[in-house]
A = this chain, B = another copy of it.
Amino acid sequence: MKTNPHFYPVILAGGRGTRFWPLSRKRRAKQLLALDGKHTMIQQTVARLAPMAAPSRFWIITNDDLRPAILRQLPKLHPKRIIAEPAGRNTAPAIGLAAFLLLRHDPEAVLGLFPSDHVIADPAQYRATLAKGIEIASAGENIVVLGIRPSRPETGYGYIEAGAHDHDGSLRVRRFTEKPDLGVARQFLDAGNYFWNSGMFLWRADTLANALREHLPNTAPLLEKIAAAYGTRKFAETFRKLYPKCENISIDYAVLEPRSAKGEAQSRIFCLPSDFGWNDLGSWTALHEHHVAKAKRGGGSLVPTSGRFTLNAQNNYVHVLDKFVALLGVSNLVIVETEDALLITTLDQSQDVGKVVKHLDEKKLHKLV
């Protein structure tokens, strides 16, 4: 495919993914798990972007807990571009740092910001959408956000309200909204001009840098100093000292929402309606449904290879390795076992798994988190 020599994928991989406990742990977060196929989520993220950018152009922002495993899982990437934040400061400083780093390196840089733990069913369609987005973002002070066409009244995501059509199939963004309640989510679904905020953005490094200088005037200079130290012996110390002073805020709150408040004509934020089988796999239940759908399409097996016996048991998600599993008279359960833990919950309640991790944190049961 035609590639853009100024395109740099920046993968945000600092998340803890507690909703996949007990499989996910502090040092083995969701993005490092092979939840869907042989390769881990972050390996799949890199693999589907690989046709668009050479390995040396990838940047990963993560933390010290996860960096060693990421280095192991992605040996072709440039280790110095796998950056461990000294403290979590949400997405705005992470993305901003990437922008300032790239700006010193390539003034024409276009950043693609990607979560590290999502599933994309149709990578070719995904890359075609991205190519279009890169074109729009390259053209000037545009911010491109990939909006997922909603298929259900989901209350777990933020939504993008789109306005007028613009060039190349994109839509002007009118507004970013918080997670809606079910009634509002239904209205959004019916309205037809609302999209799920995928967390995938494209913009030029200089556009992003300027946005940060405007919206985070205290944080932007800190990030510039850190970027200036990159590649020198002072980098680690500078990073450790200054980064924790950055504002702890998401890019949505810091930049996108205030920017969109300028009105759809002024904000220069574009939504690219996307339809490439996106799934954020936000819980065991989402993973189960993904596997069921895939199996229905003939795209893979539902169950791992260990033996199983079921009687009056339907629609259970079972992640148990090397063990015979017998299910009698139980349905809609989530059953996940590791060497040191066993989780049993329901498909309805699996989003509460983070509460187990909170409990373990509080009880200082460090080995289990």
Question: Interface of A with B (CB < 8 Å)?
Answer: 21-22, 307, 309, 311-312, 320, 322-330, 333, 335, 337, 339-346, 348-350, 352-353, 355-356, 359-360, 363, 365, 368
Contacts and interface: CB of A to CB of B under 8 A. Distances in A.
23 contacts: A22-B324, A22-B326, A309-B359, A311-B355, A323-B337, A323-B341, A325-B344, A326-B341, A326-B342, A326-B353, A327-B345, A328-B343, A328-B344, A328-B345, A328-B346, A328-B352, A328-B355, A329-B349, A330-B333, A335-B342, A335-B344, A337-B337, A337-B342
Contacts of A344: 325-328, 330, 333, 335, 344
Q: Taking each of A312, A326, A350, which has the highest tally of chain B beta carbons within 10 Å of its own beta carbon?
A: A326
Contacts of A339: 323
Nearest to A343: B326
A99 B77 CA distance: 80
Contacts of A353: 326, 328
Given A311-B352, A355-B311, A356-B309, A325 B345 contact: no
Nearest to A338: B323
Nearest to A347: B329
A333 B343 CA distance: 13
Contacts of A325: 341-344
A335 to B, nearest CB: 6
A147 to B, nearest CB: 33
Q: Taking each of A330, A344, A345, A368, which has the highest tally of chain B beta carbons within 10 Å of its own beta carbon?
A: A344
Q: Top 6 closest A-B pairs, CB basis?
A: A329-B349, A328-B345, A326-B356, A324-B341, A329-B346, A326-B343
A335 B325 CA distance: 11
A342 B323 contact: yes
Given A311-B352, A311-B355, A342 B328 contact: no
Contacts of A355: 311, 328
Contacts of A359: 309
A179 to B, nearest CB: 21
A345 B340 CA distance: 21
Contact of A365 (B307, B356, B363): B307
A329 B333 CA distance: 10
A320 B343 CA distance: 11
A234 B365 CA distance: 62
B307 A329 contact: no
Nearest to A337: B342
Given A320-B342, A337-B342, A340-B323, A328 B309 contact: no
Nearest to A346: B329
Given A322-B340, A329-B352, A330-B345, 20 more contacts: A22-B326, A309-B359, A311-B349, A312-B349, A323-B339, A323-B342, A324-B340, A324-B360, A324-B365, A326-B341, A326-B342, A326-B345, A327-B344, A329-B345, A329-B348, A329-B349, A330-B333, A330-B344, A333-B344, A335-B344
